[in-house]
Amino acid sequence: MKIAPHVARYLLGAVFFVFGLNGFLNFIKLPPMPPQAGEFLEGMMKTGYLTKVVKGTEVVCGALLLAGVAVPFALVMLTPILLNIVLFHVYLTPPKDAVPAFVYLALHLFLVWRYRAYYKPLFKLRAAA
């Protein structure tokens, strides 16, 4: 079980790094999407900043996971992005398209569980300044 966290970290890091870069370089063509999904993505792009922030965060955090540097921080930063990816696929795409999102969620949750000791201080009920 010692190798599993490394494999999960590399897989999740590669996914976010590659798809984050794709947001800037467009080297992977997206498949046709249902109208609602396309409208959602178009709305993100029309803001002028949101897609860049999300994809930039994906690239940086994917690189951190691949390098094995600041892994707990990268996992925290990716949590809201991954949650939105899962919800996007659950609500806006056909069910079969949601499978990879749940695989990424499983990898993420596995890594959060393996790095759980680093998160314990965040859940103190009465923290002193």
Within-domain flag for 128 = no
Task: Report yes or no on 38 lying in a domain.
Answer: yes
Does a structural domain hold residue 12? Answer: yes
- Number of structural domains the chain divides into: 1
* 50 Cβ contact partners less than 8 Å away, ≥ 6 residues apart: 44
Predicted structure pTM score: 0.93
Half-sphere exposure of 58 (CA within 13 A, CB side): 23
Q: Is residue 129 domain-resident? A: no
Domain that holds residue 108: 4-123
Q: What tens-digit pLDDT sequence spans the chain (129 residues)? A: 699 999 999 999 999 999 999 999 999 998 899 999 999 999 999 999 999 999 999 999 999 999 999 999 999 999 999 999 999 999 999 999 999 999 999 999 999 999 999 999 999 899 888
